[in-house]
Amino acid sequence: MNEQLIEIHDLYVNYKIYEGILKVLNGVEFRVGVKEKVGLIGESGCGKTTTMRSVMRILADNAIVPKGSILYKGRDILKMSEEEIQRIRRESISMIFQDPTAALNPVFTVGDQLMDVIKYSTKENLTKEEMKERAIKVLKEVALPDPERILKNYPIMLSGGMRQRICIAMALVSANELLIADEPGTNLDVTIQDQILRLIGRLVEERGTSIILISHALGTVKGLVDRVYVMYAGNMVEVAPTKELFSEPIHPYTIGLFKTVPKLTGGGIPEAIKGRIPDYINPPQGCRFFPRCEHAMPICKKEKPSLKSVGGGHEVACFLYE
Amino acid sequence: MKITAYIAKRLFYSIFVLLGLSMFIFTLSRVVPGDPARLALGPLAPQWAVDQLREKLHLNDPLPVQYVIWLMNALRGDLGESIVSKRPVSQDVLTFFPASFELVMFSTIISVPLAILIGALAGRRANSIFDNIVRVFSYVGIAVPTFVWAVLALFLFGYLWKVLPIMGQLSVGIRRPPVRTGMMSIDALLAGRWDAFVDHLKHMILPALCMSVGRIAQEARLLRAGIIENLKKDYIVAAISYGIPERRVMMTYLLKPSLIPMVSIMALDLASSMGGSFIIETIFNWPGFGRYGMWAMLNKDLNAVVASVMIVGIFFALFNILVDVIIAYLDPRIRVMERAS
Ligand SMILES: Nc1ncnc2c1ncn2[C@@H]1O[C@H](COP(=O)(O)OP(=O)(O)OP(=O)(O)O)[C@@H](O)[C@H]1O
Ligand SMILES: [Mg+2]
């Protein structure tokens, strides 16, 4: 295994809301190596975006991080000065937001926004012309036609697919080491979503950066990443090399999750996992999955399982395998 | 659509609105009880003189005919004669309107930057002590009528702490600059009269401030709400995540979209300061249009009433267009919709 880029260790994140405290992240363990491609899957609300926002240090104002560390090349992001994290945002890590329409400012042109990102991504003093050149170049990279015109457009004038590509372009500008893609293309139709994912895959390959890809399109994820994390209610419950995870999932949640995906070969009606994600104000003690688990044992209600290796880079957090 | 075409279109629509307003106010002025000719001549005038004047003013014609005659005259700049000032109403308008306009504009110059500053800070530090103070100030500013501020200002500055003049437009002993625009600050500058300019500005401060309290409160509140709402938007978080400095994100990415609701009520605020200026003008003895309109109403000076309402209406229509142009500049979504229609 090569050098680590990001190592999240025992990360807890709570959200303070009117009704109480949402205990969302519950000791997350996560690693991405240099130039590694990692997938992250899990049902809606399990904390994928929260984990990634912690890495960029852009959690909402009501978020609290009571415990944990996020190491970037060995230094803790959570303890960095404002300047240090700012440099990482400008030069190393960037995120493609889940909803491209919401992530683009409606009252500025694409050019204004993209050129601003370019301006701050480098210490060079670029002229307006140079910034424009770079903007056009990156728009071409994401295969947008007529970049000159797009620079003058406001987001509202563009289609969903184009907005998504623009968000990718903005992220590319400063993603020299890691690109975090949070469900890119989810609200686009399936063919375009597929194109977008392939585009991201190609760009990451060309640029030699790491990627964390969050997606529900399991079929495409399979082809794009080396390793996949499975997340449930604020915990990573299983991680394995892609092939192994899809062929031999062992955590009861992962097994259930794969069953909910209709088989491409047809016929099967998705068999949903019974129950739903727990209430984060009063989450179950012990393993957060036990109320939905067919194999729940007495220990599952008392103790929280931690990720343990079962060999070959395959880890699982489940007492069935201890 | 080109901005000029947009303005032309809006102006064209405003003509119909103003025509409607004129019909309404004209009819109203003619159906209220009381004979304008009798009012003009006074209770002692002989009946034949009243009859003669009625004939001259076309008061015996059917209403639509009267309206058309009035409209034709108005378009030529003839708004009839005032029974109070005994001068053509158009002359009165030229004398009094600029003074009020000047005051309202001065109040706008004071209130907009203050509202932006207060609203932006309160929104950015929502629920801080500062925000809570602003909240109380807004409630008070919106709820308390203007004249209370005026009386308070008179008490403070006229009685306790005499640093600012509280009456009229100029101090005694300072010669009036020659009238050109009717706005004394501009006239003073045109005549190169610094002394008059500075003295006049001092006279404007208190009435303009009193006029501004409600506007600042209202506009700051709207901006605060806009900022709080937009602060949660993904595009703000995204801008931060690209490494754009927080200051820049707040001053541009956040402020521009948040200004939109505030700017949209500015036209209303302006018009209501214009319409409500009679209180301020009366208290501060400001020879303005609000006071003129008030006198016209009280004295049933019909030509003057109709003219006052129409002038405020035109003022309102023009400012509405101006504000819509500003909003179209701030918000491309509106421009796109406009183009589609
Ligand atoms: N600012 C916030 N305040 C309160 N609760 C929040 C906040 N942000 C997220 N949450 C809650 O935290 C939980 C995890 O949210 P998160 O967005 O990380 O999930 P996700 O895995 O990205 O889901 P999805 O697939 O729907 O994007 C959810 O229950 C969500 O409602
Ligand atoms: Mg998410």
Query: From atom 10 of ligand 1, which residue's Cα is the shortest distance away?
Result: A15
* Residue of A19, A26, A49, A96 best suited for mutating to test ligand 1, as the one with most atoms within 8 Å of CB: A49
**Cα separations in angstroms, A122 against A85, A89, B158, B242, B279:** 15, 11, 59, 12, 58
CB A286 within 8 A of CB A303: yes
* B326 in reach of chain A (CB within 8 A): no
The larger pLDDT score, comparing residue A180 to residue B298, is at: A180
The larger pLDDT score, comparing residue A134 to residue B264, is at: A134
CA dihedral for B183, B188, B189, B195, sign (positive or negative): negative
Residues in chain A within 8 Å Cβ distance of B257? 105-107
**d(C-alpha A294, C-alpha A122), whole Å:** 53
Task: Give domain status of residue B183, yes or no.
Answer: yes
Gap from B128 CA to chain A (nearest CA, Å): 14
Query: From atom 3 of ligand 1, which residue's Cα is the shortest distance away?
Result: A15
pLDDT value, residue B180: 85
Residue with tokens 């005694």: B172
* A285 in reach of chain B (CB within 8 A): no
**Interface test with chain B among A105, A115, A179, by most B beta carbons within 10 Å:** A105
With a pLDDT cut of 70, the percent of chain A lying above it is 96
Query: Ligand 1 in contact with A180 (CB < 6 A)?
Result: no
The larger pLDDT score, comparing residue B326 to residue A105, is at: A105
Task: Calculate the average pLDDT of chain A.
Answer: 91
Nearest atom (ligand 1) to Cα of A43: 25
Task: Give domain status of residue B276, yes or no.
Answer: yes
- Per-residue model confidence as pLDDT tens digits over B226-259: 999 999 899 999 999 999 999 999 999 999 999 9
Question: Mean of the pLDDT values across residues A69-74?
Answer: 94
- Give the model's confidence band at A264: pLDDT under 50 very low, under 70 low, under 90 confident, else very high: very low
Task: Give domain status of residue B31, yes or no.
Answer: no
CB A213 within 8 A of CB A225: yes
Closest by CA to A65, choosing from A33, A94, A25, A99, is: A25
- B82 CB burial (10 A radius; 0-12, 13-18, 19+): buried
**d(C-alpha A53, C-alpha B41), whole Å:** 81
Per DSSP, the three-state class of A290 is helix
Gap from A220 CA to chain B (nearest CA, Å): 26
Task: Write down the number of H helices and E strands in chain B.
Answer: 16, 0
What domains, with CATH codes, occur in chain A? 4-92+177-270 (3.40.50.300), 102-174 (no CATH)
Encoded tokens for B82: 């005032």
Residue B240 CB neighbour total at 10 angstroms: 19
Instruction: Find the helix or strand (DSSP H, E) in which B298 lies.
Output: helix B289-298
**d(C-alpha B199, C-alpha B183), whole Å:** 14
With a pLDDT cut of 70, the percent of chain B lying above it is 98
In eight-state DSSP terms, residue B252 is: I
Q: Tell me, in angstroms, the distance from the centre of ligand 2 to residue A49's CA.
A: 4
CB A37 within 8 A of CB A84: no
Residue A311 predicted with pLDDT over 90:
no
Query: Ligand 1 in contact with A49 (CB < 6 A)?
Result: yes
Encoded tokens for B183: 């706005």
pLDDT value, residue A163: 94
The beta-carbon neighbor of B241 closest among A56, A113, A154 is A56
Phi, psi angles (nearest 5°) of residue B61: -75, 160
Query: Ligand 1 in contact with A50 (CB < 6 A)?
Result: yes
Residue A118 predicted with pLDDT over 70:
yes
Task: Give domain status of residue B331, yes or no.
Answer: no
CB A287 within 8 A of CB A320: no
Q: Tell me, in angstroms, the distance from the centre of ligand 2 to residue A215's CA.
A: 9
Query: Ligand 1 in contact with A85 (CB < 6 A)?
Result: no
Q: Whole domain around residue B108: which residue ranges?
A: 92-282
- Give the model's confidence band at A272: pLDDT under 50 very low, under 70 low, under 90 confident, else very high: low
Task: Write down the number of H helices and E strands in chain A.
Answer: 11, 12
Question: Mean of the pLDDT values across residues B177-205?
Answer: 88
Q: Tell me, in angstroms, the distance from the centre of ligand 1 to residue A69's CA.
A: 20
Task: Give domain status of residue B264, yes or no.
Answer: yes
With a pLDDT cut of 90, the percent of chain B lying above it is 34
Task: Calculate the average pLDDT of chain B.
Answer: 88
- Give the model's confidence band at B171: pLDDT under 50 very low, under 70 low, under 90 confident, else very high: confident
Q: In chain A, at which residue ranges do the beta strands (DSSP E only) sit?
A: 4-17, 20-33, 37-41, 63-72, 75-76, 93-96, 178-182, 210-214, 227-232, 235-241, 308-311, 314-316
Do β-strands A178-182 and A93-96 pair in parallel, antiparallel, or remain unpaired?
parallel
* B242 in reach of chain A (CB within 8 A): yes
| Contact check, Cβ <8 Å, A97/B234 | yes
Q: What's the predicted TM-score (pTM) here?
A: 0.84
Q: In what order do the strands lie in the sheet with A308-311?
A: A93-96, A178-182, A210-214, A37-41, A227-232, A235-241, A314-316, A308-311
* B34 in reach of chain A (CB within 8 A): no
Q: Tell me, in angstroms, the distance from the centre of ligand 1 to residue A276's CA.
A: 15
Encoded tokens for B110: 């004071």
Residue with tokens 């009117």: A18
Chain A 162-181, residues with CB within 8 Å of chain B CB atoms:
167, 170-171, 173-174
Question: Mean of the pLDDT values across residues A8-29?
Answer: 96
Residue A36 CB neighbour total at 10 angstroms: 21
Domain CATH number, residue B187? 1.10.3720
Closest by CA to B270, choosing from B129, B79, B103, is: B103
pLDDT value, residue B81: 83
pLDDT value, residue B35: 78
Number of domains in chain B: 1
Task: Give domain status of residue B27, yes or no.
Answer: no
The b-or-e profile of B31-42 (16+ CB within 10 A means b, else e) is eeeeebbeebbe
The beta-carbon neighbor of B333 closest among A95, A106, A171 is A106
pLDDT value, residue B1: 61
Task: Give domain status of residue B156, yes or no.
Answer: yes
Residues with C-beta atoms within 5 A of ion ligand 2: A 49, 98
* B58 in reach of chain A (CB within 8 A): no
Task: Give domain status of residue B242, yes or no.
Answer: yes
Between the ranges A32-36, B275-279, B336-340, where is the mean pLDDT highest? A32-36
- Give the model's confidence band at A14: pLDDT under 50 very low, under 70 low, under 90 confident, else very high: very high
DSSP string, A261-283: SPPTTS-PPP-PPSS-PPPSSSP
Gap from A104 CA to chain B (nearest CA, Å): 5
**Cα angle value A141/A147/A148 (rounded, 5°):** 145
Gap from A15 CA to chain B (nearest CA, Å): 14
Query: Ligand 1 in contact with A61 (CB < 6 A)?
Result: no
| Contact check, Cβ <8 Å, B232/A117 | no
Q: Beta partners for A95? A: A180
Query: From atom 28 of ligand 1, which residue's Cα is the shortest distance away?
Result: A45
